[in-house]
Amino acid sequence: MLDLKVMSAGAVRSALEELAAEFSRATGHRLDIAFNTVGAQRQKLAAGERADVIILSASAIEALEKEGALVPGSRADLGRTFTGVAVRAGAALPDLSTAESFKQVLLSARSVSYTDPKAGGSSGIYLAGLLERMGIADAVNGKTVFRRGGLEVARAVAAGEAEIGITFISEILPVKGVKLAGPLPAAVQNANTYTAAVAATSSQREAAEALIKAITSPAARARFKATGFE
């Protein structure tokens, strides 16, 4: 029986936790999975934190690969998820048909939640930039309920702490009490592919490779698809 340390972005949490539990039952390997934003995980790795498997956005994994922090050839994509808008279950669905209508949704909403860019979340960093480009950053951020991760954004909407939430669809669908109003309009859409790889510092490479094979199998991809990936 081996212990495997996994450092992962939060966008894959729902499906990954289920798949990890199945992997542990099948192999006897214990998994220690730490979820955080991509930015926070990058900081931890830079500070010397060790892991066996790293699951981050494809761009972050590519950067780590160039830094020599990953086992060459160990990368495998889990899937891609888009940014969506969450509303409380039973609420009227906002008009997300165009970038302009989405802008008006943001301006008219009583409160908005998205991942705090300072926490290093991919969706929050993107949305902060989008609000600036739209010229509505001050108006929206003045009524924003910032959260550290996407699941927390969806939960804030479910709890009535925010009227709408914007985060990755994979972090909206698993949360009870919220409904996916739809993806962002194509003109302002932001999608992320998430990728797993074996850390160069891993002393359990065979088990780490087995885990990645398990979570990228056809059955696993179907599980990710059910939670908002494609």
Structural domain of residue 40, as residue ranges? Answer: 3-79+193-226
Model confidence band, residue 7 (pLDDT cutoffs 50, 70, 90): very high
| pLDDT tens per residue, range 61-105 | 999 999 999 999 999 999 999 999 999 999 999 999 999 999 999
The predicted structure's pLDDT at residue 75: 97
Q: What is the mean pLDDT of residues 97-122?
A: 97
* Nearest Cα residue to 173 out of 114, 96, 228, 92: 228
Mean pLDDT of the chain: 97
- 87 and 136 assigned to the same domain: yes
Backbone angles phi, psi at 37, to 5 degrees: -70, 160
Q: What is the pTM of this model?
A: 0.95
The angle formed by the CA atoms of residues 151, 31 and 9, to the nearest 5 degrees, is 30
Query: Do 39 and 136 share a domain, yes or no?
Result: no
Residue 156 has pLDDT above 80, yes or no: yes
Give the per-residue pLDDT at 229: 97
210 shares a domain with 156: no
Report how many domains make up the chain: 2
- Residue 184: per-residue pLDDT: 98
In this structure, are residues 85 and 201 in contact, taking their beta carbons and an 8 Å threshold? no
Check whether residue 13 and residue 61 sit in a common domain. yes
User: 93 with 182, same domain?
Assistant: yes
112 shares a domain with 35: no
pLDDT at residue 16, as a whole number: 97
Give the CA radius of gyration of the chain: 18
Q: 88 with 138, same domain?
A: yes
Q: Are 94 and 177 in the same domain?
A: yes
Q: How confident is the model at residue 211 (pLDDT cuts 50, 70, 90)?
A: very high
* Residue 118 one-letter amino acid: K
Residues 110 and 159 reside in one and the same domain: yes
Q: What's the pLDDT band for 2 if we cut at 50, 70, 90?
A: confident
pLDDT of residue 1: 67
Residue 153 shares a structural domain with residue 129 = yes
Do 134 and 90 fall within a single domain? yes
Percent of the chain at pLDDT exceeding 70: 100
Percent of the chain with pLDDT over 90: 99
The answer to whether the beta carbons of residues 67 and 194 sit under 8 Å apart is no
Q: What's the pLDDT tens digit per position in 123-153?
A: 999 999 999 999 999 999 999 999 999 999 9
**Same-domain check for residues 71 and 91:** no
CATH at 30: 3.40.190.10
Q: How far apart are the first and last CA of the chain?
A: 33
According to DSSP, the β-strands at 191-198 and 76-88 are antiparallel
Kindly tell me if the per-residue pLDDT of 189 is higher than 70: yes
pLDDT of 60 > 80? The answer is: yes
